[in-house]
Amino acid sequence: MSVATCPVAIKKINVQKLKRKKVMVNEIMVMKRNRNPRVVSYLDSYLVHEQIWLVMEYMDGGTLYDVIRMTKIYEDDIATLSRECLQGLEFLHSNHVMHRDVKSLNILLRTDGSVKLADFGFSAQVTPKQSRRSSVIGTACGWRLKWLKVNHMAPKWTYGLLELWALKWWNERFLTRMKVLSRHTGIPELRQPKLLSPLLRDFLSCCLQRDERRRWCAKELLQHPFVTSANPASSLVPLIILVKKWKEERKK
């Protein structure tokens, strides 16, 4: 992909106002070293006055957050999105990289159906012998709970919560309780579990296990029937284009 011939996305970072310069360097290095079809491609970076311009491939379909916010996602699409995201996580895990901030805003879409992980500022490199990090970092009210041991497979839990958010079927009281995560000691409750297929309920159960020994890794989740039965990524095209059109109409 050439910067000169293709549309690109530019992330502008004010170096002077950046409190943690390590975050910027970390994002560049992780993207540069870990190239994969499920990870947003790093193209180049430039110093422009007091800003670092981080040039990446342009994902013209927006974010998964846009889709979740503007429409309802059905199980077929959730299965496809799951496979694409888990393939990205499995690639990172195989290279001993922890994303540490998996959320719908950091999952980018393209109108050809592509789904890619982005925003690696909080990611961490671990050695093969180092199974976990002691720190908890990322979106403040987001994903990792106090009692959840943070290891290099922690995104399994994260992805399970992301699934629940997408479904919009979990207990609304839990959304309030997420603001005080340090007090929370349980697994989020589904409001109407019978509306979900047995396959999806089982898939979520495999993600949302407090005991890390019982929690499936990304590689295992990719073998779950809910994921293996998923449609090709191209099946997401109508949904992505529909949401993109809605966004464009709202701007008028």
Catalytic residue set: 101
Angle at 207 between CA 217 and CA 180, to 5 degrees: 125
Distance of alpha carbon 16 from alpha carbon 37, whole angstroms? 33
234: left (phi over 0), alpha (psi -120 to 50) or beta: alpha
